[in-house]
Structure 1
Amino acid sequence: MKVQSCLGVSLILLLFLCGFVASAEDGTQKCKLSPETKSERQVLDRLIPLLHKNFTAVKKDDKENYKYVFQLCGDAGGVPGAGVVQYDEQKKSQMIVGRYNSTKAIGGSDWVMLIYESGDKYKTHCNGGNRQATIMISCQTSTVADSLEVMLEDREGDDCYYLFEMDSSAVCPVNNSKLSAGSILLIVGFCLVSAYLIGGFLYQRLIVGAKGMDQIPHYAFWAEIGNLSADGCDFVCRSKPREEPNEYRGVASEPEEEPEERDDHLLPM
């Protein structure tokens, strides 16, 4: 019995994992684009965080009482093939507003417009054309997906549509800025130097009990390094060898000439 129980649990887990992997691989493939383009598929793939979730909006007034259910590339409200379903709370009826097998996707830097076409036909409006749902999804970084809101139903003319709005972080621009290798090295070096100085200062002050400049870790070593660096700079940067200044020597004064003694007056006339 224990072996059978273990096998049963293992089989259930295996089926669950297989189903999870299959659903993850499907992604937005259930949405059929016509025509299929790489750009529109990439826009749809931006909405992957919204998969397998029903989003509900309610519109109530004196004449109407409707509930709308939207799902990305899945059966909204459990209705097969429906991307958006309208429930009439008074008549207890439902209407498919748009189908995900007829999808269009338009995207900008911080928004995506999802269009479900081929909904149920109008009876008295829009010349009997098909309903169409347009879901405008705007960037909102604080939420994966906000509540759905009904903005309007355009039933004038031939191109009729329902407009919905919701916010989601899935359509926000991705920040691809990366630090260069030099910036990373500078940051790491700054952190290491800061940790060394702060840790060494605290050790010298609290453990060793140093005061003043001695609180600097390995102060004697860094002082010596400073002196050696100054000597090296002096040696390398000077273009001429240093000479001792000449001692000051006074200029020797010339001996004064003594006046010649004239003894001409002693000669006989």
Structure 2
Amino acid sequence: MQPRDPMKARRGLGGGRVLSLVPLLVLLLVLCGCSAEDGMDKCKLTAESASERSVLNRLTPLLHRNFSVVQKEEKESYTYVFQLCGDADGVAGAGFVQKDNTKTTVVGRYNSTKAIGGSVWVLLTYDNGEKYDNHCDMANRKAFVMITCDRTTDASTLTVAEERERKECFYLFEMTSSAVCPPLESKLSAGSILLIVGLCLVAAYLIGGFLYQRLIVGAKGMDQIPNYAFWVEIGNLSADGCDFVCRSKNREEPNAYRGVSSEPAEEEPEERDDHLLPM
């Protein structure tokens, strides 16, 4: 029996590991594809444009959630369910559905979507719903969803109103959400930001220096203040500098002198000292 080549055994082991990783990679790719498909891409815009797509993307926090409202009319009661770019109440392809005791009606589909918006609102339209039975010229149902800004709530409950009096019939739903609110702008000026940064640096210097002096150097009392000797002298140095720059007094006393009179000085009588000489 020939001994087994260890190099071939290692190659076989490595090949087995690679083969075992292939199904895992395929599964990851499938999951990534499913997650991408379950997002905003499921909403098909009637007229695809970058502006409408950006408006639609503002509603991303509302994905994968059902929003419902109950409307009672005399003896009848309807429940409306809305989902953003997803199957409302589990109905495939339906973004908005109407339910009663007997059936579920598709009000609008997310593969026929329109989105317009302003700074504090977004109007979402789901077209191509099921046809009306005996009114509105048996046209396709349509749902408008008006979402306005409210920073105090993630998403409020729906309110519903159906329009049948005009030529075009539609359902109008309203709700509020912080998702459509514009980002808050910083109210701090550049000077305020610099001041805050400066105060933080000073605080870090004082606290860090104090801890270093106390724990590392072992200082006590006032010596725990970082650079204490410098701060003690800074007052005197500032005063000397101010005195040198700002004061105009001459430090050296001027030489004393006598004024010269404009009138000619009288000649003093000559004093003779001949009498002091020895005879």
Q: What's the TM-score, normalizing by structure 2?
A: 0.69
Shift of 1:203: 11
Seen in structure 2, the aligned counterparts of structure 1 residues 21 and 183 have a Cα distance that, compared at 3 Å, is: farther
The letter for the 2-side match of 1:190 is: L
Q: What CA distance in whole angstroms lies between the structure 2 residues aligned with 1:125 and 1:236? A: 94
Structure 1 contact 125–156 (Cα < 8 Å) conserved: no
Aligned residue runs from structure 1 range 81-120, under 5 A: 81-88=93-100, 90-91=101-102, 93-120=103-130
Equivalent-residue separation in structure 2 for 1:233 and 1:25 (angstroms):
73
Match of 1:37 among 49, 53, 73: 49
Partner letter of residue 50 of structure 2?
K
Aligned equivalents of 1:247, 1:171: Cα separation in 2: 85
The CA deviation at 1:217 is 6.2
> Residue type of the partner of 2:78?
Y
Counterpart of 1:160, as a letter, is C
1:189 matched to which residue of 2? 198
CA separation of 1:123 and 1:38: change in aligned 2, threshold 3 A: same
Partner residue, 2:150: 140
What is the correspondence of 1:58-97 to structure 2 with a 5 Å cutoff? 58-88=70-100, 90-91=101-102, 93-97=103-107
User: What are the Cα deviations for residues 226-263 of structure 1, in whole angstroms up to 9, with x where unaligned?
Assistant: 2112323433455x673345699999xxxxxxxxxxxx
Give the match for residue 265 of structure 1: none
CA displacement 1:76-125 (0-9 Å, x = unmatched): 1111211100001x33x011111111111111111111111111111222
Give, in whole Å, the separation in 1 of the partners of 2:187 and 2:29: 35
Call closer, same or farther: CA 1:13–1:53 in 2, change over 3 Å: farther
Look up the match of 1:121. Answer: 131
Sequence identity of aligned pairs in percent? 61
Q: Which residue of the partner structure matches residue 243 of structure 1?
A: 251
CA distance in 2, matches of 1:25, 1:61: 38
Q: 1:85·1:94 contact (CA, 8 Å) conserved in 2? A: yes
Give the equivalent residue in structure 1 for 2:162: 153
Q: Any unmatched runs of 5+ in structure 1?
A: 1-6, 252-269
Question: Does the Cα contact within 8 Å between 2:38 and 2:86 map onto a contact in 1?
Answer: no
CA distance in 2, matches of 1:15, 1:194: 53
SS at match of 2:196: helix
CA contact (8 A) 2:66 2:89 kept: yes
Would you say 1:165 and 2:174 are equivalent positions? yes
Deviations 1:187-219 (A, max 9, x none): 232023235557889999xx98859xx997655
Of the candidates 59, 62, 76, which is equivalent to residue 50 of structure 1?
62
Supply the AA of the counterpart residue of 1:95: T
Q: What whole-Å deviation, never above 9, does each CA across 1:7-60 have from its counterpart, x for those lacking one?
A: 89x968974784256424663222222221211111001011111221111112
Secondary structure of the corresponding residue to residue 113 of structure 2: strand
Give the CA RMSD over aligned residues: 4.1
Q: Which runs of 5+ in 2 are unaligned?
A: 1-19, 260-279
Query: What amino acid is the match of 2:202?
Result: V
Displacement of 1:178: 9.0
Distance change >3 Å, CA 59–CA 23, structure 1 → 2: same
Tell me, what secondary structure is at the counterpart of 1:135?
strand
